[in-house]
Every structure is written in C-alpha cells, then in structure tokens.
Amino acid sequence: MNDKPLVLITGAAGLMGCYLVREMREAGYPVRGFDLREGSEACDWVIGDVTSGADVARAMKGAGVVIHTAARANIWQGTGEEILQTNVMGTWQVYEAARQEGIKKIVFCSSDSVVGYTVREGAMVPPSYMPVDTDHPLRATDPYALSKVLGEDIARSFTHWGMTTVALRTVFVAYPEMEGEIRARHAAPANYKGTPAGGPSSAGGGAFYNYIDPRDLARAFKLALELDLPPGTLKAYFLSSGETFSPEPTLDRAKRLHGDAIEVRDASIYARAPYAGLYDTTKAAQELGFVAEHSLRQYIETEG
C-alpha cells in the first residue's frame, strides 16, 4: 500500500511542471496537477486558475503536500500588474487554501531574482558580495523579482499558522527547448536580444549566465518535499549548476563588469572551479542534500 501523501503541483502543465510530475511519480508519489490546461504527463488533473480561491480550494482537497510553481515565469510574460496579480495573489490563494485544508508543508518555487541582479529590464544592482548566500539582502528591481520576494513573505506569514515552506531560489532553467537561444547568445552576446532561435523565452541567467538543468531542479524539489523540518519553518536555498554558460571565468567577468564593486568572500571556490556560479549552493548541499549532476557547457563549447 502506498502511504505517501498526495502531492499537488500547481503549474503542472508548464515546462517545469512536466519534469516535476514525472519526478514525483517515479518516486512513488500520487500526483495531482493543477493548471489552466492538462499537461502531457499522466496524473490526476484539475483545471483552474491559481488566482481563483474556489479553483485552488477544489484542487487542494485531499492533498498532503503542495509544490507551488504556478506563475508568470519571467518578466516577458505580462505587464508588471499582470505578473504581480498572478504570482502574488496566486501564491496567497495557494497558502490560504492549504491552511484551510490542514496542509502543513509547501515547496515554493522562488528565484535568484530576489537578489535583484538577473535581467537588464531591472535596475541590475550588482550584489554586495559573492558567492551570494541566503544572508544577502533581497532587493528586487523588476516586477517578477518583486513577486518572488512577496511570495516568500507570504510563506513567512503562514509559518505563524504552523506551516512549513522550502523556498527554492532557482536560477535560469536551461530546458532542451532553450538550447538554440543559449547557442545564439553565445555566438553574439553583444547583439543578442529577443528570441532569434525561436525559443520559449530569451536565454537567461543574469550577467553571469547562471543556469540549472531541469532534471536537477526536479530532483531538488523532491529533496525539499522530503526534507524533515520543524513546524512553522521557512528555509530558502539557492540552486544552480556547478558552472555558468559564460565564456569567461567568473572572477574575470565580475572584474570586467563591476571592477572591485563586488566583494569576493571566498576566492577558493573560483580557484577550484573557475566557472562556478554567482550563488553559494553550499547550504543546499549540506541541508538539502542537493548537488547538481548535469552539465550543459557543451552548448557553448561545441558547434551545432
């Protein structure tokens, strides 16, 4: 008999949602997907809008734990008002419905954008130091980033009801559908804009081209789901691959872009791995048991 709880995955029909449904089902969890449409993966589907309290409450019935990824996934997916409405109001609806259902744990898809250094459309304030850890101030500079800061604030407010959240601050997810965009940016970074290769969005990762493979990210969500934490806890983790898509070593890139403005607190990390990312994933390794396993540097190191 399967005694694992039913996992409700919001945004389950999206690019990340498909990986999550597959990961959870392979781990033996019963899965319910909630989205505006059915996705390609087989599970129990509930169709609805994350900003509708009635729809979310309907999806929440009988669930034991929630993975909340439903959102406008970047600043190109709507106006600032639309992004904040979907991402912030949707997150509040998920937490309130979970509270009323008696669900005690949510894994929330946050973003590295909470630091404020991810897209040119934002103010792009460089971090105070690197690698950036979870003690770094949050200073969102665009609507999407702000929605994720507010999402974490919503999660924090529900800790007072005894609910626990693991907030995963993921960097740009390098889906297979993004390979053409990643190669196009690498070929002509100074002129790259829009989606010249026809990808679902522009290649991301901020000025340092941080990324994570979706298979690694899906595994991180499973680890977060299974992380044993006291009631009323909020934990946040930065997640990224072991290296960036940048053609330059990370410290060289920091120096070229910002001179000495970013304090390098642990140069040994970049001595061991010159292309290591901007974010400190030590906490994720130590507490969550997560270390990225997949490298996609071949996208920029080979022709094709």
CATH number for the region 7-301 comes to 3.40.50.720
- DSSP annotation of 111 reads E
Structure tokens at 105: 């744990």
* C-alpha to C-alpha distance for 246 and 242, rounded to whole angstroms: 12
Q: What pLDDT shows up at residue 83? A: 96
Mean of pLDDT values over 117-125: 78
Mean of pLDDT values over 13-30: 97
**Does the structure show a pLDDT above 80 at 1?**
no
Going from N- to C-terminal start, the domains of the chain cover: 7-301
Stretch among 116-120, 194-198, 269-273, 280-284 having the lowest mean pLDDT: 116-120
Q: What pLDDT shows up at residue 123? A: 75
**Does the structure show a pLDDT above 60 at 262?**
yes
Nearest CA-CA partner of 200 in 170, 179, 223, 230: 179
Structure tokens at 9: 């995955």
pLDDT category at 281 given cuts 50, 70, 90 is very high
Mean of pLDDT values over 179-205: 94
Q: What is the mean pLDDT of the chain?
A: 95
256: Cα separation from own chain's centroid: 27
Q: What pLDDT shows up at residue 76? A: 83
**Does the structure show a pLDDT above 50 at 304?**
no
Q: What pLDDT shows up at residue 124? A: 80
pLDDT tens by residue, 38-86:
999 999 999 999 999 999 999 999 999 999 999 998 888 899 999 999 9
**Does the structure show a pLDDT above 70 at 183?**
yes
SS3 content of the chain, % helix, strand, coil (to 5): 40, 15, 45
Q: What pLDDT shows up at residue 74? A: 84
pLDDT tens by residue, 248-259:
999 999 999 999
**Does the structure show a pLDDT above 90 at 278?**
yes
Q: What pLDDT shows up at residue 67? A: 98
Count of beta carbons in the 10 Å neighbourhood of residue 38:
14
Q: Cβ distance 171 to 132 under 8 Å?
A: no
**Does the structure show a pLDDT above 60 at 129?**
yes
pLDDT tens by residue, 196-240:
999 999 999 999 999 999 999 999 999 999 999 999 999 999 999
* C-alpha to C-alpha distance for 209 and 189, rounded to whole angstroms: 11
